[in-house]
């Protein structure tokens, strides 16, 4: 069995009055992500992890923020397309582990729904998906609530 691992990371600024989408769902929040797309840092990190594991380029190569066709695009579409490229190369998801770093809002109440959305797109069991959150104890840009970060690791099998 051939296995490959990949990692992805994404960052976005946060501003009041914008919507916060994480893991393909809308999260109630005072602030949302400044982005060319819908700003879903979690799905963006997962895209990069999958693309990297499949030996492909990064999310910015395939979906550049300079291309008007991606303005406001739903990141679930980007994840579907990224996974489709990996599938075309013969890969399926072994497992995915992801962490979101932000001070607030707390995302624990939304994790099961995120896992359901992500596993549906990646055609795998929700048990193969892990979504966690952490804070930086009020340190740095995430601690000051200026931004959000997500990191993801994926195992692909052929």
Per-residue pLDDT at 157: 97
Find the CATH number of the domain harbouring 48.
3.30.1330.50
Average pLDDT over residues 143-153: 95
Among 125-129, 142-146, 150-154, which is the least confidently predicted range?
A: 142-146
Q: Which residues, including other chains, have CB under 8 Å from residue 114's CB and lie 6 or more apart? A: 22, 23, 24, 25, 42, 107, 131
- Contact between 1 and 158 under an 8 Å Cβ cutoff? The reply is yes
Whether residue 16 is predicted with pLDDT greater than 90 in this model: the reply is yes
Distance between CA atoms of residues 140 and 147, nearest Å: 9
Q: Which tens digits make up the pLDDT trace of 73-118?
A: 899 999 999 999 999 999 999 999 999 999 999 999 999 999 999 9
Whether residue 69 is predicted with pLDDT greater than 90 in this model: the reply is no
pTM assigned to the model: 0.95
Per-residue pLDDT at 1: 58
Distance between CA atoms of residues 31 and 34, nearest Å: 9
Per-residue pLDDT at 64: 82
Mean of per-residue pLDDT scores for the chain: 95
Q: Note if the bond before 105 is cis, omega within 30 degrees.
A: yes
**Number of domain units in the chain:** 1
Q: Which tens digits make up the pLDDT trace of 44-60?
A: 999 999 999 999 999 98
Q: Which residues, including other chains, have CB under 8 Å from residue 139's CB and lie 6 or more apart? A: none
CA angle at residue 106 from 130 to 146, to 5 degrees? 105
Range of the domain at 135: 3-157
Distance between CA atoms of residues 97 and 151, nearest Å: 8
pLDDT band at 65 (very low <50, low <70, confident <90, very high): confident
Whether residue 72 is predicted with pLDDT greater than 80 in this model: the reply is no
């Amino acid at each position: 069995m051939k296995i490959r691992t990949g990692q992805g990371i994404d960052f976005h600024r946060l501003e009041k009055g914008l919507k916060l989408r994480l893991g393909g769902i809308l999260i109630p929040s005072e602030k949302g992500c400044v982005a060319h797309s819908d700003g879903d840092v979690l799905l963006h990190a997962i895209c990069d992890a999958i693309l990297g594991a499949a030996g492909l380029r990064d999310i910015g190569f395939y979906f550049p923020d300079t291309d008007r066709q991606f303005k406001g695009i739903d990141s679930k579409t980007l994840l579907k397309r990224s996974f489709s490229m990996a599938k075309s190369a013969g890969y399926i998801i072994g497992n995915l582990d992801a962490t979101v770093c932000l001070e607030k809002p707390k995302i624990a109440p939304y994790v099961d729904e995120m896992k359901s959305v992500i596993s549906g797109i990646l055609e795998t069991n929700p048990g193969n998906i892990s979504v966690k959150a952490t804070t930086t104890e009020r340190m740095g840009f995430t601690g000051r609530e200026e931004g959000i970060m997500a990191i993801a690791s994926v195992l692909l099998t052929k």
